[in-house]
């Protein structure tokens, strides 16, 4: 699989990575055997970038990745984790002593002395403008606890603030055919600055797979049930913030745009891969089959101008007014 570079850190990632939120929690139950099978399938398909977080299953996702990689010393995988969501979300918690403690825990979970990439996990907005926060992150690099750092953001404004920081290697942001606002300013600014873009929630929590209907019922422990209206965290993380009924209808229309040989989910992933400035896209997978299908999107042809126009028109007609003012 093709790899792209985080210019500021010199690190490389496959154009399709693997998001591992679902291997920890919040997407229904995934047992350990199945989780390891997903990681194996992704790696065998050429995926060289795993994204996790200390809060996914309270460390379970990190530990599962460590267990898998310990048995595959032949693999060269860039592992990115995130920190900051295990405490109250107030700016005062984003200080060096806490960073060290959170980092110690993640290094134990991952079984490494130095983590490849650590990202602040959608912290309170003032954190992005606080010099001491980034001084503390620089200290973690100097202490060789981490090789590089980035941020995961909710809004385009937060992304632009982070990109202006000289040592931010990556920005993780929601980007998909139902969330196009980052194309306007964030991706051009990142390209200019040499900051990598990690595209998350690429399938709008599965909507863009075209598999769901208005009557689909998700498990109680799935955020698509309990966070549909933002009850637990930012509603933009669930269905990209799109009203579910609208999303199902728009996804059915989106699916019809898929060229021959493309599944709807692969169409969404290919659309993201084709956006200038994207370094890697990180779909999750609950089965080896899903992991392989996601990776296969990297080998599909670029989309035609006609298909791109149709996707943009759908966004403008059905989605834009719901999401652009918020994120």
At 31 the pLDDT is: 86
Contact 268, 203 (CB under 8 A): yes
DSSP state of 222: B
Segment (H or E) for 247: helix 244-255
Query: What's 56's domain CATH number?
Result: 3.20.20.100
Q: Is residue 40 helix, strand or coil?
A: helix
How far apart CA 61 and CA 154 sit, in angstroms, is: 22
Below-50 pLDDT ranges, the chain: none
How far apart CA 173 and CA 287 sit, in angstroms, is: 24
What is the crossing angle of helices 131-142 and 96-110, to 10°?
40
DSSP state of 274: T
| Nearest partner of 245 among 211, 214, 209, judged by Cα | 214
Task: Provide the domain limits for residue 198.
Answer: 3-324
Specify which residues 89 forms β-bridges with.
none
Instruction: For the chain, give the mean pLDDT.
Output: 96
Residue 81: φ, ψ to 5°: -120, 175
8 Cα distance to chain centroid? 19
Predicted TM-score of the model (pTM): 0.96
Plot region of 180 (φ>0 → left; ψ -120 to 50 → alpha; else → beta): alpha
How far apart CA 319 and CA 243 sit, in angstroms, is: 9
At 6 the pLDDT is: 98
> 């920005």: which residue's tokens?
171
Strand 3-6 and strand 11-14: the pairing is: antiparallel
Contact 192, 225 (CB under 8 A): no
Contact 299, 14 (CB under 8 A): no
- The CA-CA-CA angle for residues 83, 88, 90, to 5°, reads 90
As given in the structure block, the two tokens for residue 99 are: 């960073």
At 107 the pLDDT is: 98
Contact 114, 146 (CB under 8 A): yes
Plot region of 87 (φ>0 → left; ψ -120 to 50 → alpha; else → beta): beta
As given in the structure block, the two tokens for residue 112 are: 């490494």
At 39 the pLDDT is: 98
Segment (H or E) for 79: strand 78-83
How far apart CA 235 and CA 166 sit, in angstroms, is: 30
- Number of domains the chain is built from: 1
At 29 the pLDDT is: 72
Radius of gyration of the chain (CA): 18
281-294 residues labelled b (16+ CB within 10 A) or e (exposed): bbbbbbebebbbbb
């Amino acid at each position: 699989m093709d790899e792209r570079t985080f210019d500021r850190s010199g690190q490389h990632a496959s154009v399709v990575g693997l998001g591992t939120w679902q291997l920890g929690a919040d997407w229904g139950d995934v047992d350990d055997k199945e989780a390891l099978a997903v990681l194996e399938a992704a790696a065998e398909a050429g995926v060289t970038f795993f994204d996790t977080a200390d809060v996914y299953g309270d460390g379970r996702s990190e530990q599962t990745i460590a267990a898998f990689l310990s048995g595959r010393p032949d693999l060269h995988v860039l592992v990115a984790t995130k920190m900051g969501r295990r405490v109250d979300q107030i700016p005062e918690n984003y200080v060096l002593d806490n960073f060290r403690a959170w980092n110690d825990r993640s290094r134990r979970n991952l079984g490494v002395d130095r983590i490849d990439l650590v990202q602040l996990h959608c912290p309170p907005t003032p954190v992005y403008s606080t010099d001491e926060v980034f001084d503390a992150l620089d200290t973690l690099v100097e202490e060789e606890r981490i090789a590089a750092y980035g941020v995961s953001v909710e809004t385009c404004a937060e992304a632009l603030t982070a990109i202006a920081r000289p040592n931010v290697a990556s920005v993780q942001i929601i980007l998909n055919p139902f969330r196009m606002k980052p194309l306007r300013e964030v991706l051009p600014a990142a390209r200019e600055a040499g900051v990598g873009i990690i595209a998350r929630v690429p399938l709008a929590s599965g909507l863009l797979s075209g598999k769901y209907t208005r009557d689909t019922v998700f498990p109680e422990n799935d955020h698509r049930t309990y966070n549909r209206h933002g009850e637990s965290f930012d509603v933009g993380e669930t269905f990209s913030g799109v009203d579910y009924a609208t999303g199902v209808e728009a996804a059915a229309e989106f699916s019809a745009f898929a060229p021959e040989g493309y599944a709807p989910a692969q169409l969404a992933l290919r659309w993201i891969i084709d956006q200038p400035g994207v370094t890697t896209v990180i779909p999750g997978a609950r089965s080896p089959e899903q992991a392989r299908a996601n990776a296969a999107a990297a080998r599909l042809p670029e989309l035609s101008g006609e298909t791109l126009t149709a996707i943009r028109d759908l966004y403008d007609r059905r989605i834009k007014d719901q999401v652009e003012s918020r994120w």
